[in-house]
Chains A and B, each alone.
Chain A
Amino acid sequence: MLLNIFNTIPIQYYIMVSAVLFSIGVMGVLFRRNAIIIFMSIELMLNAVNLLLVAFSSYHNDASGQVFVFFVMAVAAAEVAVGLAILVTIFRNVHSVDIDELKNLKW
């Protein structure tokens, strides 16, 4: 039944939605300075890709796309865990998560 929904909505719509989502994510990453927001934007981008993968998976009747989505979600979860941990540590040290102030990482 779920498959039907996908079949009734043309693939182009999915592509457009995910493109929009992805672009929002990119913009968020580029223009926001709060590291947590950047993080969320990255998640947004990942989800855009996930959406697209699922859409194409059903479009092609190929389950491997969905398998990929699971992988992506797993990796994203791990990434959030590590990333947030890093952010927490940074915040403890510099009392800020503003990326413009985190510029010591240079040679």
Chain B
Amino acid sequence: MVNLLLIILLPLLGFFVNALVGKKLPKSVSGGFASLMIFIPFVISTSYFVGFVNGSQQKLDIDIYNWIAFGDFKITFGLLLDQLSATWLMVVTGIGFLIHLYSISYMHDDEKFHNFFSYLNLFIFFMLLLVLGNNFLITFIGWEGVGLCSYLLIGFWFKNQDYNNAAKKAFVMNRVGDLGFLLGIFFILYYLKTLNFTQLQAVNLELLPHGLIVAITMLLFVGAIGKSAQIPLYTWLPDAMAGPTPVSALIHAATMVTAGIYMLVRANFLFIHAPETMMIVAAIGAATAIFAATVGVLQNDIKKVLAYSTVSQLGLMFLALGVGAFTSGVFHVVTHAFFKACLFLGSGSVIHALHGEQDIRNMGGLKKWMPITFWTFLISSLAISGIFPFSGFFSKDEILASAFEHNKVLWVVASLASLLTAFYMFRLVFLTFTGNFRGIEEQKHHLHESPALITIPLIILAVLAAVGGAMGLPEFLGFHHWLKGFLSPVLATNPHAEAHGLSHSTELMLMGGAFAGAVASIAYAYIKYVKGGALPANDGEESGVGKLVYNKYYIDEIYNALFVKPSLLLSDFGHSVIDNKVVDGIVNFTGKASLIIGSQVRKIQSGYIGFYLLAMVLSMVAIFVYSFMITG
């Protein structure tokens, strides 16, 4: 238990140290301390993880203290460690640690170095709280906390108001999802009387009205949509690339955005009872996958391409969850964390070398100067494209197979998205690393491979991206699907699942088809960009569908016109007309009315004493007469 607490508290300690005294520390100490505060939890997590693997570790469910408690109402602050949270612990602390190391070098010249590390540590703290919480509300603390850190880190360079806008947009869109999540929590708390995951699993859901379960799961999914950037709340994620690149790698690729998947897997015992929601999850996932992939094809900002790719991959994961393949979803989360973190860090290395240049039209031929970055980037691109035997091949293939089994349309959409992924990833690789350098001489002069603190994490991640597929080798080929066995205690059995699987030959065919398609896409990219030497069009030269896609289908503009402008108008109208004229008008009218009445009535006060006396006497007489008539 102490160890488990240490996992959470050390990053928090790191946050406080860097936030309070970081400025006075040398940069190496500040960064090193922050990294250490992640490394120790990583070691502890590893020991737990190994314990789970060899069966010596039992599930831990500890209530630390009563957080909100009065009368019968009780929400505890407690932690839950099981196979699922252990998996996420490994990803968060492991990749988190590598990215901390990377940042020591990457952020070295930034004046707010210690701020950066304090935010990163705070982020890890909240993320760990999210995955370790033993009830929905603790998860919600982490959920909002990582949103806050995301806000702080996207707007890290706060002098630029565009970045601040991006940060605000991320926070607000996340909050839209959070409202859904919170309402879901209310439903659970009110109807199921507890928020504790273990206790909830024991509730017999068959006794509850079906509509209720659907409502709960839909609301939870709304929360996941916000955090994991799915349609319709995805537009914040591409904008979030305003933050420093390590942040994009850690928060907006590897960990935070997968929180939605974590939450759905955590609540799988609810979701399997709501096939309607599952269908919607799958549909939204597939739609997001294909939609974001198409946008990714025409982006020219190296980080934006990766951002849309992340959105698309997250869509695939939701598709997996939606068709009931929870293990495949988690599997893809893990492999995606490896290769996408590697890709982002690689892009960071490139941006670093080019002194902030992010437009791939101004890159090219970097292979010569940055071999390590190139090779790691290539391996990760192969992994994300689904090339055998890299990790993405296995995890993506599993999702496609599950989709095929479930619904052929979903499978077609997801396959298309994968083909596009392979294409735009290699478009990125070729435009960045091959051909001739297209930047200015000044940049060319300074081109260099990044220092070891940057390349070592890249190499480690590339290795993981290459071999990570070993966690889930396909069963039909006679392998043991290790991850499936590992996660099985966490997953409830689906009462609605059809028991049959695909035949071996079908699976093999699907696998081969996907592989061939990916190779073909890469080949097409090769022909177009290396052989053909094609370059993306300049801004404003796109036309037709290209223009539509290049401008991201104008979704941001549509949202602006639909939500932002009207609320601003409403705010103006509400203040200047309704509040000042109508409501306050009525209040002021009450005041004015008494003035008007007063100005008439005061005429009685003529100042003639004789009149006053007469009025007094007459009134008294009237009162006497009246009272005699009443009493008499």
Is there direct touching of A and B in the complex, by C-beta distance under 8 Å?
Answer: yes
Which residues of A approach B to under 8 Å, CB–CB?
26, 29-30, 33, 35, 38, 99-100, 102-107
Stretch at the interface among B12-20, B289-297, B530-538, B602-610: B602-610
| Residue of B with least CB distance to A32 | B610
- 10 CB contacts below 8 A, A to B, read A26-B617, A30-B617, A99-B608, A99-B610, A102-B609, A103-B606, A103-B608, A103-B609, A106-B605, A107-B605
Tell me the B140-198 residues at the A interface (CB within 8 Å). Answer: none
17 more A-B residue pairs beyond the given contacts A26-B617, A100-B610, A103-B606, with a C-beta to C-beta distance below 8 A: A29-B613, A30-B610, A30-B614, A30-B617, A35-B609, A38-B613, A99-B609, A100-B608, A102-B607, A103-B607, A103-B609, A104-B607, A105-B607, A106-B602, A106-B605, A106-B607, A107-B602
With the chains together, A105 CA to B608 CA distance in Å?
8
With the chains together, A29 CA to B610 CA distance in Å?
8
What residues on A are CB-neighbors of B613 within 8 Å? 29-30, 38
Among B607, B608, B609, B613, find the residue whose CB has the most chain A CB atoms closer than 10 A: B609
| Residue of B with least CB distance to A31 | B610
What residues on B are CB-neighbors of A104 within 8 Å? 607
Query: CB-defined interface of B441-459 with A at 8 Å, one 1/0 digit per residue?
Result: 0000000000000000000
B621 to chain A, nearest CB (A): 9
8 nearest CB pairs, A to B:
A103-B607, A106-B607, A99-B609, A106-B605, A107-B602, A103-B608, A107-B605, A105-B607
| Residue of A with least CB distance to B609 | A99
What residues on B are CB-neighbors of A107 within 8 Å? 602, 605
CB of A33 within 8 A of CB of B610, answer yes
CB of A106 within 8 A of CB of B606, answer yes
A94 to chain B, nearest CB (A): 13
With the chains together, A37 CA to B607 CA distance in Å?
19
What residues on B are CB-neighbors of A30 within 8 Å? 610, 613-614, 617
A67 to chain B, nearest CB (A): 25
With the chains together, A106 CA to B608 CA distance in Å?
9
With the chains together, A35 CA to B613 CA distance in Å?
12
What residues on A are CB-neighbors of B609 within 8 Å? 35, 99-100, 102-103
With the chains together, A30 CA to B611 CA distance in Å?
8
What residues on A are CB-neighbors of B606 within 8 Å? 103, 106
Query: CB-defined interface of B127-148 with A at 8 Å, one 1/0 digit per residue?
Result: 0000000000000000000000
What residues on B are CB-neighbors of A33 within 8 Å? 610
What residues on A are CB-neighbors of B617 within 8 Å? 26, 29-30
| Residue of A with least CB distance to B598 | A107
What residues on A are CB-neighbors of B607 within 8 Å? 102-106
A40 to chain B, nearest CB (A): 14
B616 to chain A, nearest CB (A): 9
What residues on A are CB-neighbors of B610 within 8 Å? 30, 33, 99-100
What residues on A are CB-neighbors of B614 within 8 Å? 30
| Residue of A with least CB distance to B606 | A106
With the chains together, A100 CA to B584 CA distance in Å?
45
Tell me the B564-621 residues at the A interface (CB within 8 Å). Answer: 602, 605-610, 613-614, 617
What residues on B are CB-neighbors of A99 within 8 Å? 608-610
| Residue of A with least CB distance to B599 | A107
A97 to chain B, nearest CB (A): 11
With the chains together, A30 CA to B608 CA distance in Å?
12
What residues on B are CB-neighbors of A29 within 8 Å? 613, 617
| Residue of A with least CB distance to B618 | A30
A52 to chain B, nearest CB (A): 15
A44 to chain B, nearest CB (A): 14
B406 to chain A, nearest CB (A): 86
Tell me the B267-289 residues at the A interface (CB within 8 Å). Answer: none
| Residue of A with least CB distance to B614 | A30
Among A33, A102, A104, A105, find the residue whose CB has the most chain B CB atoms closer than 10 A: A105
With the chains together, A12 CA to B271 CA distance in Å?
99
| Residue of A with least CB distance to B601 | A107
What residues on B are CB-neighbors of A102 within 8 Å? 607, 609
| Residue of B with least CB distance to A104 | B607
What residues on A are CB-neighbors of B608 within 8 Å? 99-100, 103
| Residue of B with least CB distance to A102 | B609
With the chains together, A30 CA to B612 CA distance in Å?
9
| Residue of A with least CB distance to B611 | A103
| Residue of B with least CB distance to A42 | B613
What residues on B are CB-neighbors of A106 within 8 Å? 602, 605-607
B611 to chain A, nearest CB (A): 9
With the chains together, A106 CA to B610 CA distance in Å?
13
B529 to chain A, nearest CB (A): 91
A87 to chain B, nearest CB (A): 12
B276 to chain A, nearest CB (A): 74
What residues on B are CB-neighbors of A103 within 8 Å? 606-609
A105 to chain B, nearest CB (A): 6
What residues on A are CB-neighbors of B605 within 8 Å? 106-107
What residues on B are CB-neighbors of A35 within 8 Å? 609
With the chains together, A102 CA to B613 CA distance in Å?
14
With the chains together, A107 CA to B601 CA distance in Å?
10
With the chains together, A38 CA to B617 CA distance in Å?
14
With the chains together, A102 CA to B606 CA distance in Å?
11
B612 to chain A, nearest CB (A): 9
B102 to chain A, nearest CB (A): 82
A31 to chain B, nearest CB (A): 8
B303 to chain A, nearest CB (A): 75
Among A26, A104, A107, find the residue whose CB has the most chain B CB atoms closer than 10 A: A107
With the chains together, A38 CA to B602 CA distance in Å?
25
B113 to chain A, nearest CB (A): 73
With the chains together, A107 CA to B599 CA distance in Å?
9
B607 to chain A, nearest CB (A): 3
With the chains together, A34 CA to B118 CA distance in Å?
91
What residues on B are CB-neighbors of A105 within 8 Å? 607
With the chains together, A79 CA to B607 CA distance in Å?
22
